[in-house]
Amino acid sequence: MNNLNVYEKRGLKKFSLFSMIFFFMLLVPITVKAQDDIKSLDSLADVAINNGNYAGGYLLRTKQIDMLSKQVDKSDSNLILLIANRGMCMERLKKFDEALTEVKKAVELWTEFKDSTSFNYASLLNYLSVCQMNANQMNDAVESSQRSISLLEKMPNKDMTQWMNLGSAYTNFAETLVKLKRFKDAITEELKGLKIIQKYNGDDTTPYLDELVSLQKYLKESGNEAAADKIAMLLEEGAADLRVPKEKEFASAKEASKYNAEALYCSNYYLDHPITAPKMSEASLFFHNWNMQSKDVTVPFGEFENDICQSTSGALCFLAYEAGIISNGLRYNIKFNKTIYLAAIIKMTRFYINNKDYLGIVPPLEPFAQAYTPDKLKIMKLAEEKYETLDKSLKKSPK
């Protein structure tokens, strides 16, 4: 239940999705000699880059490239992606000409030896456009962005990484268009990217609001002060994920009671945001640890709930059930009853449906998802059946 970091995302800044995506791509198995040494260097480079040590990341990527080059030819996909990642380090160090040389080389190699309609190729084009923009090669940057977006838009939308890369492709294209003073087109592309970022992070989280700052800037530069001011008002409150308290261990029920307000906030955050939102792990660990000690709310666990928790995705859905009971229990000062249970089942089902493209199928919840209709009558019947079974088991349990 506590292994929740499986969905925690790196909090990277502008153009950061490229780094994350390149890291994913570099997880392709390296089936050559010196495999362990290369993987060790890869881990060290990942840590360095993730901590903002791009100079160190550059040196480690160079060692990887030198080592791998002795084992494979220039058509090897791992080698090509390592070259692109080294270019990313240079771009972060503001060595734009060197970065462009590296990433352009990676794109040329991929074009020559690999599938030029693949997701990896679209990702490389996406990052090439960033390097071209930084090197003030604006026409080339526009062309690379358009080619990348054209490929990404044709791909299935069920893969979160592909969707997020498309989102960053839109926002990067917007940045290029702004530099060309094409404000109307830039705002159109920025809004496309924001829509995807909103879907996968929520509209009151740091990634979304960080990108909203860009939209505000573009509107202001275009002369639309009124629209820019409206966005400024949205930004004033700040991101909800910045208000999530840090994970905490509770020694007793008395101590847990002091943090009821925080447990309620974390429960609502978990229910109100997609699974990819930045602080879902922290929020869920906080209210789960709180629940382990609290006597202010009762979260029963029966056979159905146990079935749900047989997979990681199911466990993440169970946390929505737990959050639903905590939220209503604290809000209405009720420990547990049938109404609280039915509401929690509905909230868990909605959470499952909203995050299904990320979680995959959780078999025990499929009947509930199929019964989730606007009138809620079918799902209420299923939930009542589960409640009756749970209630019987609770009555049989020793007090």
How much is the mean pLDDT over the chain? 88
| pLDDT at 264 exceeding the cut of 90 | yes
In contact, 259 and 221? CB cutoff 8 Å: no
| pLDDT at 26 exceeding the cut of 70 | no
Q: In whole angstroms, what is the distance from residue 233 CA to residue 245 CA?
A: 24
Residue located via tokens 């609280």: 340
Interval 202-261: pLDDT, tens: 999 999 999 999 999 999 999 999 999 999 998 998 899 999 999 899 999 999 999 999
pLDDT of residue 158: 57
Q: Does pTM surpass 0.75?
A: yes
Question: What's the average model confidence in pLDDT over 72-97?
Answer: 95
In contact, 347 and 321? CB cutoff 8 Å: yes
Interval 36-52: pLDDT, tens: 677 788 889 888 888 88
pLDDT of residue 35: 62
- What is the band of 157 on the pLDDT scale with cuts at 50, 70, 90? low
Distance of CA 353 to the CA centre of its chain: 17
In contact, 144 and 125? CB cutoff 8 Å: yes
Q: Contacts by 241-245 with C-beta closer than 8 Å and gap 24+?
A: 241/205, 241/206, 241/269, 241/277, 241/278, 241/279, 242/206, 244/269, 244/279, 244/282, 244/283, 244/286, 245/282, 245/286
- What is the band of 99 on the pLDDT scale with cuts at 50, 70, 90? very high
Q: In whole angstroms, what is the distance from residue 100 CA to residue 121 CA?
A: 16
Q: Residue 316, CB half-sphere, CA atoms under 13 Å: how many?
A: 29
Instruction: Give the total residue count for the chain.
Output: 399
Q: Contacts by 224-232 with C-beta closer than 8 Å and gap 24+?
A: none
- What is the band of 135 on the pLDDT scale with cuts at 50, 70, 90? very high
Mapping DSSP onto H, E and C, the string for the chain reads: CCCCHHHCCCCCCCCHHHHHHHHHHCCCCCCCCCHHHHHHHHHHHHHHHHCCCHHHHHHHHHHHHHHHHCCCCCCCHHHHHHHHHHHHHHHHCCCHHHHHHHHHHHHHHHHHHCCCCCHHHHHHHHHHHHHHHHCCCHHHHHHHHHHHHHHHHCCCCCCHHHHHHHHHHHHHHHHHHHHCCCHHHHHHHHHHHHHHHHHHHCCCCHHHHHHHHHHHHHHHHCCCHHHHHHHHHHHHCCCHHHHCCCCCCCCCHHHHHCCHHHHHHHHHHHHHCCCCCCCHHHHHHHHHHHHHHCCCCCCCCCHHHHHHCCCHHHHHHHHHHHHHHHHHHHHHCCCCCHHHHHHHHHHHHHHHHHCHHHHCCCHHHHHHHHCCCCCCHHHHHHHHHHHHHHHHHHHHCCC
Stretch among 15-24, 281-290, 336-345 having the lowest mean pLDDT? 15-24
CB crowding 223-236: b at 16 or more within 10 Å, else e = eeeebbeebeeeee
Residue located via tokens 């169970």: 318
Kindly state the tokens that stand for 279.
């602080």
Q: In whole angstroms, what is the distance from residue 349 CA to residue 366 CA?
A: 9
CA distances from 367 to 189, 243, 300, 363, 378 (A): 39, 35, 21, 8, 10
Q: In whole angstroms, what is the distance from residue 321 CA to residue 324 CA?
A: 5
